[in-house]
């Protein structure tokens, strides 16, 4: 999200002067769920699984609006803030779901797989942090990105910037939802 946001604001929106404002909006958006929204979501949805599913569906809606109306800066700021605030709850919800899995395995099998589960979660997080950052660079390279050419990027690069910032995250949220609905 952060890597694609830099390229998105600089080249797609063409406003590097607004980069710090936009990054501040999404940074605060990532902080809000940990402090305010998470307890509310768990109270409303009762389980981490339901909270994960519903928050991801809501996030898809905000990313969809941002994808369609992404050049309207006010709407972009609004949608980016709420997509980040609601979508970032998945970081906390994953920890709850991992602990639930560990306890469930222990109750069913009388075996503690805490170490194995923690390893798998850690490995998945490392992959999840590496792939997007290198992926956006690979996509830009393939699309004909010209470094420093604000306002002069090829159409393929402009689409990649827009799709990489709001389209791909929406697709990832959709995949998460499908995995929760059809385990």
pLDDT of residue 94: 82
What Cα–Cα distance (Å) separates residue 95 from each residue in 8, 47, 101, 145, 174?
30, 13, 10, 37, 20
Query: What's the pLDDT tens digit per position in 99-118?
Result: 888 888 888 888 888 788 88
What's the CA gap between 88 and 67, in Å, rounded? 18
Query: What's the pLDDT tens digit per position in 55-73?
Result: 999 999 999 999 998 789 9
pTM over 0.85: no
Q: Give start and end residues of each alpha helix (H) in the chain.
A: 2-7, 19-32, 38-45, 48-68, 73-87, 89-109, 114-142, 155-162, 168-181
Q: How many beta carbons lie within 10 A of that of residue 114, not counting itself?
A: 14
The answer to the question of residue 109 being in a domain is: no
Q: What total of structural domains would you count in the chain?
A: 1
The answer to the question of residue 147 being in a domain is: yes
Query: What's the pLDDT tens digit per position in 116-169?
Result: 888 888 898 888 878 877 888 899 999 999 998 888 999 999 999 999 888 988
The answer to the question of residue 50 being in a domain is: yes
57 phi, psi to nearest 5 deg: -65, -40
The answer to the question of residue 97 being in a domain is: no
User: How high does pLDDT run on average in the chain?
Assistant: 87
What's the CA gap between 4 and 19, in Å, rounded? 12
What's the CA gap between 71 and 63, in Å, rounded? 13
The answer to the question of residue 110 being in a domain is: no
Counting residues of the chain whose pLDDT is more than 70, the rounded percentage is 99
Structure tokens given for 17: 């002067």
Structure tokens given for 128: 């999840």
pLDDT of residue 133: 78
The answer to the question of residue 26 being in a domain is: yes
pLDDT of residue 59: 93
The answer to the question of residue 13 being in a domain is: yes
Structure tokens given for 15: 């406003």
The answer to the question of residue 111 being in a domain is: no
Give the residue numbers spanning the domain of 77.
Answer: 2-89+133-181
């Amino acid at each position: 999200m952060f890597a694609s946001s830099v390229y998105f604001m600089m080249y797609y929106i063409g406003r590097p002067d607004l980069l710090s404002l936009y990054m501040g909006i999404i940074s605060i958006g990532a902080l809000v769920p940990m402090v305010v929204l998470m307890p509310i979501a768990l109270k409303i949805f009762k389980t981490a699984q339901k909270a994960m599913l519903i928050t991801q569906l809501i996030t898809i809606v905000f990313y969809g609006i941002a994808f369609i109306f992404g050049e309207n800066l006010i709407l972009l700021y609004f949608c980016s803030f709420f997509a980040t605030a609601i979508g970032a709850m998945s970081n906390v919800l994953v920890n709850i779901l991992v602990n639930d899995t560990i306890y469930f395995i222990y109750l069913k099998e009388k075996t503690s797989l805490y170490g194995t589960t923690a390893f798998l979660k850690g490995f998945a997080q490392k992959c999840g942090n590496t792939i997007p950052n290198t992926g956006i660079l690979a996509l830009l390279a393939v699309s004909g990105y010209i470094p420093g050419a604000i306002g002069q990027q090829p159409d393929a690069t402009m689409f990649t910037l827009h799709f990489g910032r709001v389209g791909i995250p929406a697709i990832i949220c959709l995949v998460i939802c499908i995995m929760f609905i059809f385990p």
